Amino acid sequence: MLKRCMQLTMLGLAVAALTPMARAQSETPLLIPFNTSLAHSDSHWILWMPTHPTYEAVEARSTPDPRSLNGATVQVFFTERAGGKNQVHYFNSEAGARAFRGGGGLYREMTYAVVGAKGSPQGVDITFRDKNDRPVELSMTFGEGQPVSDLHAGLANQMGHNRDALFLLFYREKAASALKNRLVIGGEDFSMTAERATSAEQLSRTGYRSNVFIFTFPFGKSQYSSKDGVVSNSWQRTFKAIDAPGGKMYRGDVADGTRIEIMTTPTGDITEYRHVNGAHVGRIAFQPALPSLTSAREGQRIPYAASFDNFGVVVRGTALIQRSEGQIVINWQHESPDWTQGYHFQSIVQITAAGYDLEVRKSRDASRN
């Protein structure tokens, strides 16, 4: 009996002496390196504002939604010209304004109408009142039979937008230049004209975009814990394991109605990270797999590729792993296209007894690229 008690006591002391890393290894070793969001819109419009004192552009995006009074979910946002290019976002639904994680989401009643056949550029007419209660009128028109093309489509350069807050992949399948546009705010006309444009390109960029993806990697902190094969974080995201070919899929439903699917090997290394919005997906594929909490090693270099639906790779890079006692750092070193090299960021993982703390932040070299 005494021998049995001593064995139990020694076992208890051994468990209590486990390091945070050892305790983390006893649970799910999955290392989720970022918190993403994915927005998709069927139609997107942009109008440059060279004569406005504060904003450089206004954009609107919409997707059909039978639950909406307008028949679509609509978002209109203005981007400041200076500094970090902060934005003000307006939504035609209270739920959309609440779900907007970037802050500054404002609900407004809107009138909204589109004109044009599917597959052609859509004309638009939107009215609402801005944060200063001034009436806003935004409209664009296109020619009958006017085609969409690859000009001004594809992956957009982030151009410094919110560079201290997130990494942004903004992809457009097709585009068309507006024949006419109108923007009036509080009775003052800020429409784009050939006389006001700073370049012919700026004038041609005012127009329509189709099948648009906005895949964001926000910077910030979160805490992860795991229990009984379920991984949860402080952003209210919970990932449950499902058996899948070659390993497991961890699925997490997001408050905005999207979901995240993480494909892993049997040992918890990530082969593909997917953010799904309805029938559309933004993905990051790793080859070889991105290591887990237990398999990450100093000096590992993991190539990654980002893509949308079936449009092919839009960004390539290498994740460089640094490992020290109780900490893992993943350096996201984008390589192509060239502009992404100015937007490197890090995922800093601090192992805890419950799981790990994650901080995603801009790399120190980002501002120099």
Using H for helix, E for strand and C for coil, what is the string for the chain?
CHHHHHHHHHHHHHHHCCCHHHHHHCCCCCCCCCCCEEEEEEEEEEEECCCCCCEEEEEEEEEECCCCCCCEEEEEEEEECCCCCCEEEEECCHHHHHHCCCCCEEECCCEEEEECCCCCCCEEEEEEECCCCCEEEEEEECCCCCCCECCCCEEECCCCCCCCCEEEEEEEEEEEECCEEEEEECCEECCCCCCCCCCHHHHHHCEEEEEEEEEEEECEEEEEEEECCEEEECCCCEEEEEEECCEEEEEEECCCCCEEEEEECCCCCEEEEEEEECCEEEEEEEEEEECCCCCCCCCCEEEEEEEECCCCEEEEEEEEEEEECCEEEEEEEEEECHHHHHHCEEEEEEECCCEEEEEEEECCCHHHC
What's the whole-number mean pLDDT along residues 321-346? Answer: 97
Average pLDDT, the chain: 91
What's the whole-number mean pLDDT along residues 204-219? Answer: 97
For 229-246, the pLDDT digits (tens) are: 899 999 999 999 999 999
Distance CA 39, CA 52 (A): 28
- CA-based Rg of the chain, rounded to a whole angstrom? 24
For 19-32, the pLDDT digits (tens) are: 544 444 445 799 99
- pTM given for the model: 0.89
Q: Would the pLDDT of 170 be above 70?
A: yes
- The predicted pLDDT at position 70 comes to 86
Are 298 and 289 in contact by the 8 Å Cβ rule? The answer is no
Buried b (16+ CB within 10 A) or exposed e, 262-271: bbbbeebbbb
Distance CA 176, CA 149 (A): 6
Beta-carbon contacts of residue 104 (< 8 Å; ≥ 6 apart):
86, 87, 88, 89
Q: Would the pLDDT of 17 be above 70?
A: no
Distance CA 319, CA 342 (A): 15
For 249-288, the pLDDT digits (tens) are: 999 999 889 999 999 999 999 999 999 999 999 999 999 9
- The predicted pLDDT at position 2 comes to 42
Distance CA 250, CA 233 (A): 13
For 61-120, the pLDDT digits (tens) are: 999 888 888 889 999 999 999 887 889 999 999 988 988 866 679 999 999 999 998 889
pLDDT level of residue 162 (50, 70, 90 thresholds): confident
- The predicted pLDDT at position 9 comes to 42
- The predicted pLDDT at position 365 comes to 80
- The predicted pLDDT at position 11 comes to 39
Are 122 and 207 in contact by the 8 Å Cβ rule? The answer is no
- The predicted pLDDT at position 27 comes to 58
pLDDT level of residue 364 (50, 70, 90 thresholds): confident
The tokens of 14 are what?
């051994």
What's the whole-number mean pLDDT along residues 48-67? Answer: 95
pLDDT level of residue 7 (50, 70, 90 thresholds): very low
- The predicted pLDDT at position 290 comes to 98
Percent of the chain residues topping a pLDDT of 90:
80
- The predicted pLDDT at position 22 comes to 47
Are 319 and 301 in contact by the 8 Å Cβ rule? The answer is yes
- The predicted pLDDT at position 98 comes to 87
Between the two ends of the chain, the Cα-to-Cα distance in Å is 69
- The predicted pLDDT at position 367 comes to 56
- The predicted pLDDT at position 8 comes to 41
- The predicted pLDDT at position 12 comes to 44
